Amino acid sequence: MKRVFAIPVILISLISVIPTVHSADVPVETKAQKDARMKWFREARFGMFIHWGLYSVPAGIYDGKQIGGYGEWIMHGAKIPVADYAKYAGQFNPVKFEAAPENRSSS
């Protein structure tokens, strides 16, 4: 019983020594300052980071069935055996990947 009571007391004690952030500690910047800070980002035209792996080979389909909502979790969600999933490694070859869309609009 003492142990059950001691754990919350210890946690509360630890929380009380954690420094808190006050709004006065957060730097405030003007729109001009933010624009200057973000200039490099806008000029580089960053916008999305795309990653992919073996799960892109089956593209959401396993054993002839559409497996929705899993993406990189398809092996887990569709219960694909390791030996079957490992076969995708021989098919995964992103060397010819081209990020540029065929019909790029000017912006």
Nearest Cα neighbor of 61 from 81, 80, 34, 46 is 80
pLDDT tens over the chain, length 107 residues: 566 666 777 767 666 656 665 666 667 889 999 898 888 878 887 666 677 788 888 988 999 999 877 788 899 989 999 999 999 999 888 887 776 666 545 44
**Structural domain contains residue 49:** yes
Domain count, the chain: 1
SS (H, E, C) the chain: CHHHHHHHHHHHHHHHHCCCCCHHHCCCCCHHHHHHHHHHHHHHCCCCCCCCCHHHCCCCEECCEECCCCHHHHHHHCCCCHHHHHHHHHCCCHHHCCCCCCCCCCC
**Structural domain contains residue 58:** yes
**Structural domain contains residue 8:** no
Domain that holds residue 48: 41-99
**Structural domain contains residue 73:** yes
